[in-house]
Amino acid sequence: MKTRKPYFNNRQRNEEIAGYLFVLPNILGIVVFVALPILLSLILGYTKWNPMQGLRAVKFVGLDNFKAMFSDARLIAALKNNFVYTFAYVPISIFLALLVALALNKKVFCKVPLRLMFFMPYISAMVSVSYVWLILLNPEGGPVNNFLSMLGVKDLPGWFSRSNSSLAGIIIVSVWHDVGYYMIIFLSALQSLPKQVYESAKIDGCGSFRTFHSITLPLMASNILFVSILATMNSFKVFDQINILTEGGPGYSTNVLVYCIYHYAFRELNIGYASSIAVLLFVIILVISGIETKLKDRFTY
């Protein structure tokens, strides 16, 4: 009969307790700042509540908030703008990030400073970045329009002052800010690819394009899928640059779901309706992320 060793059992138990204590702050953060707000949004989505009137003013309205969405011009415009923004922001960001990562993965001059230069916008505050781009894209005397004027462009874009170009300006700012982060993910994936495969392809006479198409892309499919999910989630959370640059205008041209939630919650003080839009946003992100995850088995190796 084997004898138990209490010393090792106590040591193992103490290590487990220490491990739980280390992850406890993260768990508390997720519960307080993620799980609890989601639960409250689900509950408040069925109510009408002005927070300035206290908790006694909470009134249960059932599905009225969700029914009102179908006739809300602001919300319909926000949905349309958000999907246009996503379908432009995600592929452009992935394409540019992959292109820069491929270039900086090779032996180029000043490779490390160039990597830092591309990553710097991401760690810069979006508030500062937005004000810089507000100056750059100023329709009257801004550097970008001055350059276009030098090239002979007659009808200069109004950028944030016109409804037909304001969303494009927001996309430019967002891509410039985030592409460095996605580039770092792709760069780390490229550096972990097996070099033997590339050496064999070189011996077999494969060119650069054939190597990229037949080796690099298949091996990086899971990383591209991960970045696409990340970029999609980021595209539906866009808020800072819109709040600073356009405040959802002109008209509803840059109004998106998160800004719509902010407008109803903190300007009209309709927490119930804002919560119902937050639930809609949660469902949209969940469905799109689920679809992209399902594609993993088909398009990854």
Query: Per-10-residue mean pLDDT for the chain, 301 residues long?
Result: 58 83 90 88 89 85 90 93 95 94 80 84 90 89 88 85 89 94 91 82 79 82 88 92 89 92 91 92 89 73 59
- Give the H/E segment covering residue 281: helix 271-294
Beta-bridge partners for 148: none
List the domain boundaries for the chain.
64-299
Q: How far apart are the first and last CA of the chain?
A: 50
Q: Which among 111, 110, 98 has a CA at the least distance from the CA of 190?
A: 98
For 165, list phi and psi in degrees, rounded to 5.
-130, -5
Q: What is the pLDDT of residue 256?
A: 94
Q: What is the pLDDT of residue 105?
A: 83
For 220, list phi and psi in degrees, rounded to 5.
-100, 10
Q: Which among 169, 194, 27 has a CA at the least distance from the CA of 88?
A: 169
Q: Which SS3 state, helix, strand or coil, does residue 61 take? A: coil
Beta-bridge partners for 48: 59
* Sequence-separated (6 or more) residues with CB below 8 Å from residue 222: 296, 300, 301
User: Given 3.20.20.70, 3.40.50.720, 1.10.3720.10, 3.90.550.10, which CATH number is that of 64-299?
Assistant: 1.10.3720.10
Taking the model in full, what pTM does it have? 0.86
C-alpha dihedral sign at 155, 159, 162, 166 = positive
For 272, list phi and psi in degrees, rounded to 5.
-60, -50
Structure tokens at 115: 């990597």
Structure tokens at 109: 């001059």
Q: What is the pLDDT of residue 86?
A: 94
The CB density around residue 162, as the number of other CB atoms within 10 Å, is 14
For residues 139 and 200, the answer to whether their CB atoms sit within 8 Å is: no
Beta-strand relationship, 47-48 and 59-60: antiparallel
Distance between alpha carbon 203 and the CA centroid of its chain, in Å?
Answer: 41
Torsion region of 218: left, alpha or beta (phi above 0 gives left; psi -120 to 50 gives alpha): alpha
Q: What is the pLDDT of residue 7?
A: 52
Q: What is the pLDDT of residue 241?
A: 92
Cα angle, residue 101 at apex, residues 120 and 130 outer, rounded to 5°: 30
Structure tokens at 54: 């206290």
**Rounded distance, CA 142 to CA 188, Å?**
37
Alpha helices in 194-267 (DSSP H): 195-203, 208-211, 217-219, 221-235, 240-245, 257-262
**Rounded distance, CA 163 to CA 85, Å?**
14
